[in-house]
Amino acid sequence: MEPFSHIDLYINHLTVEKGLAANSIQAYASDLNDFMEFIDTCRIDGLQQVDTAVILKYLISMQKAGLSSRTRARRLVALRGLFGFLKKEGLMQQDPSTGIDLPKTGLKLPVVLSRREVERLLDSPDRKSARGCRDAAMLELAYGSGLRVSELVNCTMRQINLEAGYILVRGKAERQRLVPIGRKAHDSLEDYLGWARPFLLGKLQSEILFVARAGKPMSRQGFWKLLKKYATKAGIDSKVTPHGLRHCFATHLLEGGADLRAVQAMLGHVDIATTQIYTHLTRQQLIQAHRRYHPRG
């Protein structure tokens, strides 16, 4: 059965069984046809090939096109209805819209910096100074591995394995995950550990990777201020936050063609329906996906 026939079936269901008004029916049809045009540009051959990654890319494309959060939210609702109906009718085995949450205020995605803006941001610290070398390594790891700010500032020396090229991240509820360290982040960390960290510590001892005063970890607010300082130095007008940097990590990977399952595994998300699938990825598969698709991998 052709994909547009699926939509026709759903529209007929809304008209006959749900009894929606003509205006509502027209709005649903328009939104769903817009999605069909999008997947056509992505060379996706019908609704059966649509997965969660495709829907996320669609939401990102709408945001970039300047569509309001209300419009994006409405179109997501239309897709949820369609795929839910098709699964219930046995026309699809899985509902790819499951797990994509819709806030009550509408879908709001964090600001995504362009790759050029990220390059400027990461090049802002003075790597010849000890603190600048530390800051550069922090920024590279935050973007290169998609860490939460709490995961970044509390990271210990034991969690880093530069030789193997990964970091063991302790996330929410003490859940652990392995995340690849990109080539640029690896080089920056190697430089930082080689001379800058010993210089900052002096005679002190510390298990903390990125040391601040007295060998203690930097506060979350401290990193936030640090990030704002370098964003200003880089001439970036957009509001840059630690979470936004993490979102850039995920978005740039997805835009490059990375498998959503690998991205979700690296982010440490557990509240998405496909979690059980992507947790079976091996460490080597994650490292290969990161190196292939991340701009600084």
Instruction: Inform me whether the pLDDT recorded for 222 exceeds 70.
Output: yes
Annotated catalytic residue 183:
no
**Catalytic residue (one of 10, 28, 278, 293):** 278
Mean pLDDT (whole number) for 178-194: 95
* Range scoring the smallest mean pLDDT among 126-130, 270-274, 293-297: 270-274
Quick check: helix, strand or coil at residue 269?
coil
Token pair, residue 257, equals: 């063609």
Report the chain's mean pLDDT, rounded to a whole number: 84
pTM for this model (two decimals): 0.61
Domains belonging to the chain, first-starting first, are: 3-88 (1.10.150.130), 115-293 (1.10.443.10)
Q: What angle do CA 242, 247, 252 make, to 5 degrees?
A: 130
Distance CA 149, CA 221 (A): 9
**Catalytic residue (one of 131, 183, 220, 269):** 269
**Token pair 């897709």 is at which residue?**
79
Annotated catalytic residue 6:
no
Distance CA 60, CA 238 (A): 17
What secondary structure letter does DSSP report for 157?
G
**Catalytic residue (one of 239, 243, 283, 291):** 243
Q: What pLDDT is stored for residue 283 in this prediction?
A: 53
User: Which is higher by pLDDT, 293 or 47?
Assistant: 47
Q: In which order are the strands placed within the sheet that holds 176-180?
A: 160-161, 166-170, 176-180
Instruction: Inform me whether the pLDDT recorded for 16 exceeds 90.
Output: no
Distance CA 86, CA 226 (A): 49
| Interior/surface letters 286-297, b for 16+ CB within 10 angstroms, e for the rest | bbebbeebbbbb
**Catalytic residue (one of 134, 197, 246, 296):** 246
H/E run at residue 191: helix 183-191
At residue 146, φ and ψ (nearest 5 deg) are 65, 40
Q: State the pLDDT confidence band at 66, using cuts at 50, 70 and 90.
A: confident
**Catalytic residue (one of 108, 172, 175, 213):** 172
Annotated catalytic residue 230:
no
Annotated catalytic residue 172:
yes
Give me the DSSP letters along 195-229: IIHHHHHTT----BSSB-GGGPBPPHHHHHHHHHH
**Catalytic residue (one of 6, 72, 148, 252):** 148
Annotated catalytic residue 148:
yes
